[in-house]
């Protein structure tokens, strides 16, 4: 396999990895050269090399559709069921935000609203945009779209804020006859939404964003 250091830097300007006969290993992210037709495996970990993941869009779309469907019950169903000596109460994500606002904890209310409602919704729209543009092989703004994908990957885990809160409350607020807290069906649906959007982002091959550049230039 040819050494990458021997490739003149100027010859790679304005070219994507496929044009430059370079491919990134999907397992260890080692940059490999495919100039040799027999170079089908990574030199570092031995994994199979693919210029583009052939099933990337279908897998990412399947996870995204499932997440979009579960996003509705995640916001409508209660995420927490509280039983006290004064009675029982069910709280959804939005009712929890409103309760925090009523008690004057607006910074925490804004944090919960942004992390638990806005972030999952923005992730759904962002991944949908990426999938549609790649499916249409659009050359529109490849660098901003790549940056958007990196942001979606980075903020994915912070959407679990509501699940963390419910988990902590269930573990701490257990006073038997005085008070008890139990997770609701909404918490399960919400956790599934977060996991599915993360799987959708992981399944998406960001190299597809740049795949249409060569066709357009030609």
Q: Write the CA distances from 99 to 51, 94, 102, 108, 186, integer angstroms.
A: 51, 9, 5, 11, 17
The H or E element spanning position 201 is helix 185-203
pLDDT tens string 37-86: 556 777 788 777 666 667 888 999 999 999 999 999 988 888 877 766 67
The reported pLDDT for the residue numbered 127 is 93
The reported pLDDT for the residue numbered 216 is 44
pLDDT tens string 13-45: 556 556 566 777 766 767 777 666 556 777 788
Looking at residue 137, what DSSP letter applies? T
CATH 1.10.150 fits 56-217, yes or no: no
Alpha helices in 103-177 (DSSP H): 106-113, 119-135, 142-155, 161-172
Q: What pTM, to 2 d.p., does this model score?
A: 0.74
Residue 132 CB contacts under 8 Å (≥ 6 apart), including other chains? none
Q: Compare 87 and 120 and report the one with higher pLDDT.
A: 120
Q: Compare 216 and 24 and report the one with higher pLDDT.
A: 24
The reported pLDDT for the residue numbered 126 is 92
Q: How many residues are present in the chain?
A: 218
Residue 17 CB contacts under 8 Å (≥ 6 apart), including other chains? 23, 24, 51, 207, 210
The reported pLDDT for the residue numbered 67 is 93
Q: Compare 151 and 177 and report the one with higher pLDDT.
A: 151
Q: Compare 4 and 197 and report the one with higher pLDDT.
A: 197
pLDDT tens string 110-163: 877 887 888 888 889 999 999 999 888 888 888 889 899 888 888 866 666 656
Domain coordinates in residue numbering, the chain: 1-51, 56-217
The reported pLDDT for the residue numbered 175 is 52
């Amino acid at each position: 396999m040819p050494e990458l250091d021997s490739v003149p830097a100027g010859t790679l300007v304005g070219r994507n990895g496929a044009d430059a006969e370079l491919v990134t290993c999907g397992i260890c992210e080692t940059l490999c050269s495919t100039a040799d037709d027999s170079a089908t495996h990574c030199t570092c970990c031995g994994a199979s090399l693919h210029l583009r993941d052939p099933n990337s869009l279908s897998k990412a779309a399947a996870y995204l559709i499932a997440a979009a469907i579960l996003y509705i019950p995640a916001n409508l169903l209660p995420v927490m069921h509280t039983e006290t000596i004064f009675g029982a109460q069910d709280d959804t994500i939005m009712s929890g935000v409103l309760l925090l606002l009523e008690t004057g904890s607006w910074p925490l209310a804004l944090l919960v609203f942004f992390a638990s409602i806005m972030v999952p919704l923005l992730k759904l729209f962002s991944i949908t945009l990426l999938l549609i543009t790649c499916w249409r092989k659009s050359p529109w703004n490849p660098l901003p779209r790549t940056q958007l994908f990196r942001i979606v990957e980075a903020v994915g885990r912070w959407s679990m804020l509501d699940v963390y809160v419910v988990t902590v409350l269930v573990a701490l607020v257990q006073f038997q006859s005085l008070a008890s807290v139990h997770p609701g069906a909404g918490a399960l649906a919400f956790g599934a939404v977060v996991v599915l959007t993360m799987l959708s982002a992981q399944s998406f091959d960001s190299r597809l964003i740049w795949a249409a550049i060569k066709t357009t230039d030609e």
